[in-house]
Structure 1
């Protein structure tokens, strides 16, 4: 398929906190995200995408690009694409990691390191001569996402519970956790029984950052470790043998808060990175990838 302004494209940024969509005609919408767990995750993801499309006015869609926090295997991609295509009436569905769409949007197809910090963490790196970005880090809330909002929020809640038990140092995180989740003794039960526990815990991250800025040493240690983890990921992602400073963008709701600290940490190695403002976001990147062929991390489903 070649680029054609008459082809109506739906760009999707599917995260754990929110699923955002934007249509090539300009319509956009956002609905609650999906955490990847359980056998019905693909169906729930498809339903969230369709809901967002409907909120955006259910515009005509010929092709859709799904940039997702977690991408299933080939069979899962085909199943998800079929579910979405059936509802949207689309003839072409592209499924890829949201790190790929983020990188494409941030650099408008050029090279560099894109570090996206939201509920989770995604890092995509591409060298000057590379055909496509390589994904590093992330690995989801169970196995990784170090430095992301869930990781920070979980650290904050855990520190509050330890302090309340007397197993850890006192911290203002106890009162912060009670303000958000209720009486501290009931927090574990409430969060373990929540269907959106990952999202709820991730939303505690800003309060951990606020406590750190206010001088709470427990919160400060959590944030400092998060910055270390993100800086480490960026260093590892820097293309080997790069002869010039590597373009770096830090994106995401939490990324905007932590970017100054991460860049400051990376400046310990002068000339390694060139921190920049992103040229676009993941939805812009998805639009750019709408007509790309399969391969290089893109799973393409076509009708028939």
Structure 2
């Protein structure tokens, strides 16, 4: 069995774990706003690799929110990672792939994973796949952390300028963002604004539990968006296919999880909590063969292909 380094790369954080040693190393994440994304992702992974004192590995499996959009960029990233880690193979995929593999133990079905963004992959036994949403914070990721956090901040700004309802989110924003003065300008200028705004999602979820009407409406809308995303995936794969729910905001015992489950139950749809994380999914994939149901979704860089 090959020694594998799994990488789970999101906008909030990038995590590394080796199959040959205990422990996980995490560094700041990367978004597509940060210039040369391939170089930024590589720099973050190289930093974590050095910090974790990892031994060389045979294969690296990357599940990235910022997965390269073309084969040339993917090969460039693979070559950089291979040179740093000693790996002769680097598998590169969108993080929906590694999330799905972890959530459903590398079996067909639908995974809905919610963190800063939203990843929903519907996969048939044949390997035929469909991604639902996951279009990024500018165009989609409806119901995810940034989506919720940005609507929470927007509600605060509306209250401040007299257009919106009174909400306890204003007090929470004052604490979270070190005051309300020039809040919009400061958030537009902050380093990694997507991550910073998405962190406010937890304040919105907490306020909803406490009965704040504005926060409650945001969370209900988020749950509806996530339910619609999952339902589309299940209708495409088949109603009897397994549906796994996971991610930081959609774990068991969260208010968002509870409300999505209510909507699924009302529609007669079953689900299960995710079996494992995206990082676990990366390791699981890497310990197997490339000829699997995910094969069309993974770019494989090999050392010999670069010579």
Q: Secondary structure at the match of 1:184?
A: coil
Runs (5+) with no aligned partner, structure 1: none
**How does the TM-score come out when normalised to structure 1?**
0.92
**Aligned position for 1:199:** 195
Tell me, yes or no, if the aligned pair for 2:110 and 2:230 is still in contact at 8 Å: yes
Instruction: Please point out which of 42, 45, 50 is paired with 1:46.
Output: 42
Tell me, yes or no, if the aligned pair for 1:115 and 1:121 is still in contact at 8 Å: yes
**Aligned position for 1:160:** 156
Q: Does 1:96 align with 2:93?
A: yes
Instruction: Please point out which of 115, 122, 125 is paired with 2:122.
Output: 125
**How does the TM-score come out when normalised to structure 2?**
0.91
Q: Secondary structure at the match of 2:141?
A: coil
Tell me, yes or no, if the aligned pair for 1:53 and 1:59 is still in contact at 8 Å: no
Instruction: Please point out which of 14, 30, 36 is paired with 2:26.
Output: 30
**Aligned position for 2:303:** 303
Q: Does 1:292 align with 2:290?
A: yes
Distance in 2 separating the partners of 1:285 and 1:166: 47
Q: Does 1:20 align with 2:6?
A: no
Distance in 1 separating the partners of 2:183 and 2:101: 40
Instruction: Please point out which of 241, 244, 248 is paired with 1:249.
Output: 244
Instruction: Please point out which of 260, 263, 281 is paired with 2:261.
Output: 263
Number of aligned pairs? 295
Instruction: Please point out which of 60, 65, 68 is paired with 1:69.
Output: 65
**Aligned position for 1:60:** 56
Distance in 1 separating the partners of 2:182 and 2:172: 14
Q: Secondary structure at the match of 1:140?
A: coil
Q: CA deviation at 1:38?
A: 4.1
Runs (5+) with no aligned partner, structure 2: none
Q: CA deviation at 1:64?
A: 0.2
Q: CA deviation at 1:241?
A: 7.1
Q: Which one is further off, 228-237 or 18-27?
A: 18-27
**Aligned position for 1:214:** 210
Q: CA deviation at 1:104?
A: 1.1
Q: CA deviation at 1:159?
A: 0.7
What aligned pairs does 1:106-185 form with structure 2 within 5 A after superposition? Answer: 106-127=103-124, 129-185=125-181
Q: Secondary structure at the match of 1:289?
A: helix
Q: CA deviation at 1:295?
A: 4.0
Distance in 2 separating the partners of 1:70 and 1:141: 12
Change (3 A) 1:32 1:267: same
Q: Secondary structure at the match of 1:274?
A: coil
Q: Secondary structure at the match of 2:91?
A: strand
